[in-house]
Structure 1
């Protein structure tokens, strides 16, 4: 949900901060007070087109910032943010957009700079805006199949998963067959190249860890003189007449005498004795090492040559010996494939044919489930439209015929073989037309509301905004629209700009938008209304200018009715 919204120097808004709740928030106020400006700011926050005209006159830039909270890590926003390398902490996403007076925009998500395109893609998972002339998802026919699948739930999910397992293998085999069927001359050139590479790596006889062992040996050989001198000096210091070991042995002999005379020197004797034997053992080891040390200049040259060879292979085929050997295995398989090209083509074609048959069966099964889902969706939407007093309206989930799909050469896609589009007719006798082609107006607003009532349960969109979708309706239709908007708010956070008292009465949070003038400048402000203030504002919406006792009673009745509907 959108938890906090901050707007600064935007149009007639000087500075505005909003804390929003779950459920239904309704924005009301006089025409021109700035209700739609707040929605415009949110639209820009999620990647809408901006311009310098939005910056408040006399200011350098407009600033918009929103804090969104996500219920769980299964929200679609998580996947998108991970794709773009943006971290989420404690389920919070902060979107920020600054628009300068020159028209330049700077977008950030959780503090990371992003493009407007990325901001738009992330924003589409957080907010869905519906206005009189703008219906993002439901008017996009490319998303109708996704909406149908979401409505279908687990039955469709299982069928898609089963289909995609075969589809992924089918795609993989198709790509292999395409590669092996490429121009023969190119394949011959490719074979020459990788055969040379194969031979070069094979002749090198690489061993994992070899380079590290050679570097260690090189280090020792390079420092041979220093090592020899150090060991020789150490040996000379300990071994020999009147040297370290000799003096320690003398000390041990005298301490033995002292310990015989007084027991308190026994511990000291043991310490010195241990030191003597340890030194004696160390001298032995140093002597052996000195005897074995031998400087081999030819060996150093050989190591240098071998390391140069390995580094040359690393520059060509991989950063490590493991990478080089992995590439070696890969081209070995490719050489075998090209060499036995005809045999592989036959095997791949046979496998592809078998997969296509399996894919056809899975696609058919998926289509059948979707068609059943389409009938249930049609029935549900007709019920919603009936409640909105549009019982003459006909809705249909239309599947494009497979023959047409085959002509396009795109029969099988990642999500199946189906192309789906929503069709609708608002008047008896009129032909069904694509939903995206239906003229806007009061009827379209109700259609969109009916669809949204159903799809909001399945889409996982954090926040939904209705911008005056109730325009052009009144009476019982207005009450029905108010109830539908509240139904959507049960499953998603909803913000709604409305001029209908019925909608305002259903609000969980009623925000009153007003504008004032100070020192020759106009500013917009927002006030969260309490119960008495709600009655006054709904009375104003009912009567217009003059508020009477009768309109106040009517407002109270609307609030009581709304409370009763919410409880049921």
Structure 2
């Protein structure tokens, strides 16, 4: 849920901080007080289109920041955050967007700079804004198949996963076949290039780790004088008459004579004795190193030449010798495919035919399941529409398929395009009034009917869409009376599954609010400021009375307001 919103220098808002609660929050106030501006700010926070016009006059930038509290660790937003490398260790997500006076934006998620596109992707999983004249997810026909799948997820998901697995195989094999059957001249050029590269790597006769061993040997040869001097000096400092080991031997002999007198002397003797034998071993090692030390300038030249050859290959085929060898192995397979192209084509065609056969079975199975689920969804939508006094409306889910080309599979005698979601193209159709034909929901007129249709469907889909917060911006415009009451109840029902923020002019909606925020503006000097405060129950009663009367609050409108609030509490108890 959206827990906190902070706005600075945005339109007429100088500085504003608002806390939001769970359930239904209604925002009311006089026209022009800034209600829609707050919703605009939230829209920009989750990736909406911004411009310099949003920056308060005379300021360098507008700042919007929102804190979302996520109680479900399995929410899809965490997968998005992980995909983009954003910290997900806590159950909080902070979105921030600064809009500069030149129109550019700076976006952050949990403190990490992101692009506007990434902000939008994450924001869409958190919040859904619906205004009367906006086409959101329900108005986008491309999203209808996803909504149907979400509605019956438990039965559709297993079939969809099986289809998706086979579809990926189908795509990979189709891509392989296309590559094997493309332009002959391009394939010949490709084969020549790969054979040249493979031969170049083979002729080098590389060994894994060879470059590292050569670098070690080069280091030793390059520092021959330094190494020889150090070994020679160390050896002759320790070995020989009147040298280091001789003196230690003398000390050991002297202590050996008194070792039996005192335990401490014995301990000293044993320490020096041990040191003597260790140094003796070290002297033998120094001698061996000196005997084996050679200065070979020709070998150094050979090493440098070999390393240069390896580095030339690294620049072309990989950063390490192992990567170069792996590349050679990879292109060897491709060379084999190109040389034996005809047999590979037959092999891939056979595999593609087998996968296609299984894929079509799963596609038809998925389509059958969807059609059964569509019947259930149609009934659920019609039931919800009846509850907002649209019992004469008709709703249908239309299934169609995209015609393909000669390379696509034949389904029921027609070449049909297989898509990542299956064979079906799904679109919601509706008729608001008897006698009118069913039309795509995206083409119906806006107004009171659209508000009811959207709310009816939101009641169903809010359980499945996964967003934590839903905003309704004056979706109740154009309705009144019993329809207004029905819409109020629908909005409240949506809020039982998701946090709902609602700008409304209907007293019935305000009465159902769990939290009532009043938006007002005042003029200080020559500037306008917007403020927000949470109403007490007494203030809420007065505000609803104002919404009823429109002008003056009377004892009668106050009485009516109290009755609305009592009715709202009764309806809430029934809903819970």
Question: With structure 2 as the length reference, what TM-score do the two structures score?
Answer: 0.94
1:257-336 superposed matches below 5 A? 257-259=257-259, 265-336=265-336
* Distance across 2 between alignment mates of 1:100 and 1:262: 86
Range that drifts further, 333-342 or 554-563: 554-563
CA positional deviation for 1:403 = 5.3
The 1:288–1:435 alpha-carbon spacing in structure 2 relative to 1, beyond 3 Å, is same
* Distance across 1 between alignment mates of 2:386 and 2:530: 39
The 1:256–1:525 alpha-carbon spacing in structure 2 relative to 1, beyond 3 Å, is closer
Question: How big is each residue's C-alpha offset from its partner over 1:64-112, in whole Å with a ceiling of 9 and x where there is no partner?
Answer: 2212222334323233334444334413222222333443433333333
1:43-54 superposed matches below 5 A? 43-54=43-54
* Distance across 2 between alignment mates of 1:53 and 1:295: 76
Quick check: 1:217 aligned with 2:217? yes
The 1:502–1:173 alpha-carbon spacing in structure 2 relative to 1, beyond 3 Å, is same
* Distance across 2 between alignment mates of 1:36 and 1:328: 62
2:191 aligns with 191
1:496 aligns with 502
The 1:229–1:395 alpha-carbon spacing in structure 2 relative to 1, beyond 3 Å, is same
1:120 aligns with 120
Range that drifts further, 284-293 or 236-245: 284-293
Query: Residue 358 of structure 1: SS of its match in structure 2?
Result: helix
Query: Residue 93 of structure 1: SS of its match in structure 2?
Result: strand
* Distance across 1 between alignment mates of 2:279 and 2:352: 76
* Distance across 1 between alignment mates of 2:54 and 2:83: 31
* Distance across 2 between alignment mates of 1:221 and 1:70: 63
CA RMSD of aligned residues (A): 2.0
2:389 aligns with 389
CA positional deviation for 1:157 = 1.1
Range that drifts further, 379-388 or 199-208: 199-208
* Distance across 2 between alignment mates of 1:113 and 1:279: 60
Gaps of 5+ in 2: none
1:333-412 superposed matches below 5 A? 333-401=333-401, 411-412=417-418
1:523 aligns with 529
* Distance across 1 between alignment mates of 2:177 and 2:401: 29
* Distance across 2 between alignment mates of 1:291 and 1:67: 73
Query: Residue 384 of structure 1: SS of its match in structure 2?
Result: helix
Quick one: which of 416, 427, 432 aligns to 1:426? 432
* Distance across 1 between alignment mates of 2:282 and 2:61: 77
2:564 aligns with 558
Question: How big is each residue's C-alpha offset from its partner over 1:142-166, in whole Å with a ceiling of 9 and x where there is no partner?
Answer: 1111111111112111111000111
Please say if residues 467 and 497 of structure 1, whose CA atoms lie closer than 8 Å, have aligned partners that are also in contact: yes
* Distance across 2 between alignment mates of 1:456 and 1:262: 90
Question: How big is each residue's C-alpha offset from its partner over 1:330-350, in whole Å with a ceiling of 9 and x where there is no partner?
Answer: 111001101111111111111
Please say if residues 401 and 416 of structure 2, whose CA atoms lie closer than 8 Å, have aligned partners that are also in contact: no
The 1:200–1:59 alpha-carbon spacing in structure 2 relative to 1, beyond 3 Å, is closer
Aligned length in residues: 568
1:90 aligns with 90
The 1:509–1:277 alpha-carbon spacing in structure 2 relative to 1, beyond 3 Å, is same
CA positional deviation for 1:510 = 0.5
Please say if residues 24 and 502 of structure 2, whose CA atoms lie closer than 8 Å, have aligned partners that are also in contact: yes
Query: Residue 491 of structure 1: SS of its match in structure 2?
Result: coil
Please say if residues 129 and 135 of structure 1, whose CA atoms lie closer than 8 Å, have aligned partners that are also in contact: no
2:17 aligns with 17
Quick check: 1:535 aligned with 2:515? no
